[in-house]
């Protein structure tokens, strides 16, 4: 077992692995830690210093395998494995790609807490770990732990909620000789701006800081507005949303609760043009929304999350939750620097 001494990239006193590692850092590891110069300015160093990884991994530690000493082969340290999953998200890596990068990149090994001679988790280990978390339903707890940490840091604005939805494409599939298809049968079809899409849809509620505070996940065929009421039920100040969420009933309910209706207006049936006051309101709402870095844009542009990696709704919902958590952790760094 390796217990860190608080050196660069290591949290003082933290356990790096459950077993399967050397008892102390050797000369090569010390030299490795010196490579690349000071780490304080690097992204991974900032993520390491700013994130309470032990607290984020707490939901994982309650699993039986982490509380049955001596019962079978000890599991990998949950902090190490959680960091590995986050690395994969931030760098848009597959499981084989993550294994390869952990073997080759010093900065990755240093971030997760692997010495030069430590064994590296392989892609099968990542698959089993992720499946175990999904089976235990821990993704919500990890996501919530990230949001709670960011709130404790005082980074949430809490002046309103912005609601949005994004399509995550799934492969269309190909026909098999027996007439069936390889298409994911749990995904759905929809049309947007005249183009056909097949996949899933993530629905998010974001604080005006840009941090995602809640989410829902469904098929692409679900309308954008299906989950806005759930996502804003506790909002007391302001709701921002595009015209897909425009609905008279919803506007009336928001007003009845004393919540400012920041939903973009769209033309009603038979209405040729919006009223002047609606045009002015839409411009004001658009300016307010533009001040918030859209989490969905960050998902696709920075994290490369444009297509699902798995078949089936449960696996992809778990993956969406982890991606949201990774997005929030990275976003929190820019909020601290602001």
Confidence of residue 290 (pLDDT cuts 50, 70, 90): confident
Q: What is the mean pLDDT of residues 136-163?
A: 97
Torsion sign, CA atoms 248, 253, 256, 262: negative
Residue 16 has pLDDT above 50, yes or no: no
| Phi-psi map region of 167: left, alpha, beta (phi>0 left; psi -120 to 50 alpha) | beta
Residue 332 has pLDDT above 60, yes or no: yes
What six digits make up the tokens of 90? 């931030």
User: What are the DSSP calls for 69-99, one per residue?
Assistant: TTSSSPPPPHHHHHHHHHHHHHTT--HHHHH
Question: Model confidence over 202-215: pLDDT tens digits?
Answer: 999 999 999 999 99
Residue 17 has pLDDT above 50, yes or no: no
Average pLDDT of the chain, as a whole number:
87
Q: What is the mean pLDDT of residues 187-197?
A: 94
Pairing of strands 238-241, 260-263: parallel
Residue 64 contacts residue 74 (beta carbons within 8 Å): no
pLDDT reported for residue 34 = 47
Percent of the chain with pLDDT over 90: 73
Which structural domains are found in the chain, ordered by start? 27-136 (no CATH), 156-312 (3.30.420)
pLDDT reported for residue 99 = 98
Confidence of residue 265 (pLDDT cuts 50, 70, 90): very high
* Least confident stretch, 8-22, 139-153, 164-178, 285-299: 8-22
Q: What is the mean pLDDT of residues 143-169?
A: 97
Note the residue count of the chain.
Answer: 338
Q: What is the mean pLDDT of residues 318-331?
A: 97
Greatest Cα pair distance, the chain, in angstroms, is 77
Question: Model confidence over 214-243: pLDDT tens digits?
Answer: 999 999 999 999 999 999 999 999 999 999
Only one residue has tokens 């899933």, namely 200
Nearest Cα to 325, choosing from 202, 157, 221? 202
How buried is 225 (Cβ within 10 angstroms: 0-12 exposed, 13-18 middle, 19+ buried)?
middle
Question: Model confidence over 246-264: pLDDT tens digits?
Answer: 999 999 999 999 999 999 9
pLDDT reported for residue 175 = 86
What six digits make up the tokens of 211? 């941090």
Q: What is the pTM (predicted TM-score) of this model? A: 0.86
Question: Model confidence over 171-182: pLDDT tens digits?
Answer: 988 888 887 889
Question: Model confidence over 28-44: pLDDT tens digits?
Answer: 554 455 454 444 338 99
Residue 26 has pLDDT above 80, yes or no: no
What six digits make up the tokens of 273? 């043009």
Confidence of residue 300 (pLDDT cuts 50, 70, 90): very high
């Amino acid at each position: 077992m390796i217990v860190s001494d608080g050196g660069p990239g290591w949290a003082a006193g933290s356990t790096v692995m459950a077993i399967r590692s050397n008892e102390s850092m050797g000369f090569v590891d010390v030299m490795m830690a010196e490579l690349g110069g000071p780490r304080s300015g690097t992204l991974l160093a900032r993520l390491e210093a700013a994130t309470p990884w032990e607290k984020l991994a707490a939901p994982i530690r309650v699993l039986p395998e982490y509380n049955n000493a001596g019962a079978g082969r000890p599991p990998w340290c949950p902090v190490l494995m959680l960091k590995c999953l986050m690395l994969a998200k931030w760098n848009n890596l597959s499981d084989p790609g993550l294994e390869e990068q952990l073997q080759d990149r010093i900065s990755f090994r240093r971030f997760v807490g692997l010495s030069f001679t430590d064994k590296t988790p392989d892609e099968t280990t990542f698959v089993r770990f992720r499946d175990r978390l999904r089976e235990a339903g821990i993704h919500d707890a990890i996501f919530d732990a990230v949001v709670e940490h960011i709130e404790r840091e005082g980074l949430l604005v809490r002046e309103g909620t912005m609601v949005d939805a994004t399509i995550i494409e799934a492969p269309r599939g190909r026909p098999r000789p027996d007439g069936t298809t390889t298409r994911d049968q749990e995904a759905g079809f929809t049309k947007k701006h005249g183009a056909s899409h097949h996949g899933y849809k993530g629905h998010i509620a974001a604080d005006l800081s840009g941090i995602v505070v809640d989410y829902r996940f469904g098929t692409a065929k679900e309308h954008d507005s299906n989950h806005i009421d759930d996502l804003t039920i506790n909002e007391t100040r302001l709701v921002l949303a595009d015209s897909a969420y425009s609905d008279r009933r919803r506007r009336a309910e928001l007003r009845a609760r004393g919540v400012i209706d920041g939903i973009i207006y769209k033309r009603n049936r038979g209405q040729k043009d919006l009223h002047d006051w609606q045009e002015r309101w839409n411009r004001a709402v658009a300016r307010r929304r533009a001040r918030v870095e859209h989490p969905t844009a960050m998902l696709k542009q920075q994290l490369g999350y444009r297509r699902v990696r798995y078949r089936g709704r449960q696996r992809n919902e778990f993956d969406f939750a982890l991606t949201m958590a990774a997005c929030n952790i990275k976003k929190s760094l820019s909020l601290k620097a602001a």
